[in-house]
Amino acid sequence: MSDNLQNQPTASLQNPTLQLIELPTAPKNASPVPELTSIHSVRRRGPYGDGRYRGNCGGYLIRNLLRYFQPKRVLDPMSGSGTCRDVCRELKIKCDSFDIRRGQDATNTASYAEQNPVDFVWMHPPYWRMIRYNDDPRCLSNAPTLDDFLNRIQQVLKECKTVLTPNGKIAVLIGGYSDRGRYQPLPHLIVERAIRENLWLACTEIIRFQHDNTSSKKQYRSSFIPGLHDTCLVFESTKGGA
Ligand SMILES: C[S@@+](CC[C@H](N)C(=O)[O-])C[C@H]1O[C@@H](n2cnc3c(N)ncnc32)[C@H](O)[C@@H]1O
């Protein structure tokens, strides 16, 4: 038996679903938010947004990112129930937000016409058609093909870049999923689209454990490897070189 297994509590050896995950020790550094690492695992969602809104994420990852990058103004162009807005309110950071459900389309240049420059964009799009948010054909969850979905994501990145300050960051939270029998690695595909817009990863990708999501309460007949995380990608402008 390896040391690792010996260290696991007995219950976790009998039932692998109770297995504890031991995280590696992060190197000490000058980060103002030492708990922000490439793995984010917080079960509580915090007093932010509305947990009943489908596809919603908790507020603590956003909170850590804002404390780390310390923007003066934030934009959330797909705000849903307003998790990012609520975190910004707590941290006393100005936040502009809109959503197609209130009529503003993040792919449309006109939606940014009055927008002040921002140092940070929080972008939490639909994971293509995993959840259908509404019947509006402009909604990214209604994109008829994967290529069309990625074109729209690329367009949103392009628009957000037009209102981003030179050292600004665009954070995208997205996950892969199996769509009609084919796995769609959306984070990887979005990195490729971001590069086309001269955006590059500003730091490590952050793996966010999805505690208590809807699928964790279901039972499936088919066999598959469950995905338990989504990925946060933080981009910055390549400033002409990459
Ligand atoms: C994953 S949810 C965001 C949840 C949000 N983070 C929250 O705090 O509840 C994705 C959101 O993207 C919005 N959306 C989809 N297409 C859009 C578009 N073209 N323009 C603006 N918002 C869009 C949906 O209406 C939905 O609210």
| 10: in domain | no
Instruction: Indicate the length of the chain as a whole number.
Output: 242
Q: Which residues pair with 235 in a beta bridge?
A: 170, 201
CA of 52 to the centre of ligand 1 (A): 14
99 lines ligand 1 (CB under 6 A): yes
Q: Which two tokens stand for residue 117?
A: 């420059």
- Which residues have a Cβ under 8 Å from the Cβ of 169 and sit 6 or more positions away? 69, 71, 119, 120, 121, 202, 234, 235, 236
Q: Which two tokens stand for residue 200?
A: 């590059």
CA of 202 to the centre of ligand 1 (A): 23
Picking from 92, 105, 238, the residue whose alpha carbon sits closest to that of residue 168 is 238
The one-character DSSP state at 174 is E
Q: Which two tokens stand for residue 68?
A: 């780390």
pLDDT value of position 213: 78
Closest protein CA for atom 16 of ligand 1: 139
80 lines ligand 1 (CB under 6 A): yes
Tell me the average pLDDT across 5-12. 44
Digit-coded pLDDT (tens) for 76-123: 999 999 999 999 999 999 999 999 999 999 999 999 999 999 999 999
**Model confidence at 17, in pLDDT bands (50, 70, 90)?**
low
Specify the pTM.
Answer: 0.92
Digit-coded pLDDT (tens) for 193-223: 999 999 999 999 999 999 887 777 888 888 9
Tell me the average pLDDT across 139-167. 98
Total domains, the chain: 1
Digit-coded pLDDT (tens) for 18-51: 567 888 999 999 999 999 999 999 989 999 999 9
pLDDT value of position 65: 98
| 185: in domain | yes
Atom of ligand 1 nearest to the CA of 125: 10
| 82: in domain | yes
| 11: in domain | no
Q: Which two tokens stand for residue 191?
A: 């990195």
The one-character DSSP state at 175 is -
State the average pLDDT for the chain.
Answer: 91
pLDDT value of position 4: 39
Asked whether residue 241 carries a pLDDT value surpassing 50, the answer given is: no
Q: What is the CATH number of the domain that holds 154?
A: 3.40.50.150
Asked whether residue 12 carries a pLDDT value surpassing 60, the answer given is: no
pLDDT value of position 7: 42
Between 240 and 41, the higher pLDDT residue: 41
Tell me the average pLDDT across 49-68. 95
pLDDT value of position 18: 57
Q: Which two tokens stand for residue 35?
A: 């708990």
| 17: in domain | no
Residue 84 domain boundaries: 47-217+225-237
Pairing status of strand 206-209 against strand 118-123: unpaired
49 lines ligand 1 (CB under 6 A): yes
Question: Ligand 1: which of 139, 152, 153, 156 to mutate, most ligand atoms within 8 Å of CB?
Answer: 139
CA angle 142, 148, 151 (to 5 degrees): 120
| 145: in domain | yes
| 8: in domain | no
| 42: in domain | no
Question: Ligand 1: which of 111, 140, 155 to mutate, most ligand atoms within 8 Å of CB?
Answer: 140
Report how far residue 140's alpha carbon sits from residue 78's, in angstroms, rounded to the nearest whole number: 10
Report the greatest alpha carbon distance in the chain: 63
CA of 78 to the centre of ligand 1 (A): 4
Report how far residue 68's alpha carbon sits from residue 169's, in angstroms, rounded to the nearest whole number: 11
Report how far residue 91's alpha carbon sits from residue 85's, in angstroms, rounded to the nearest whole number: 10
pLDDT value of position 22: 86
CA of 203 to the centre of ligand 1 (A): 24
73 within 8 A of 116, measured Cβ to Cβ: yes
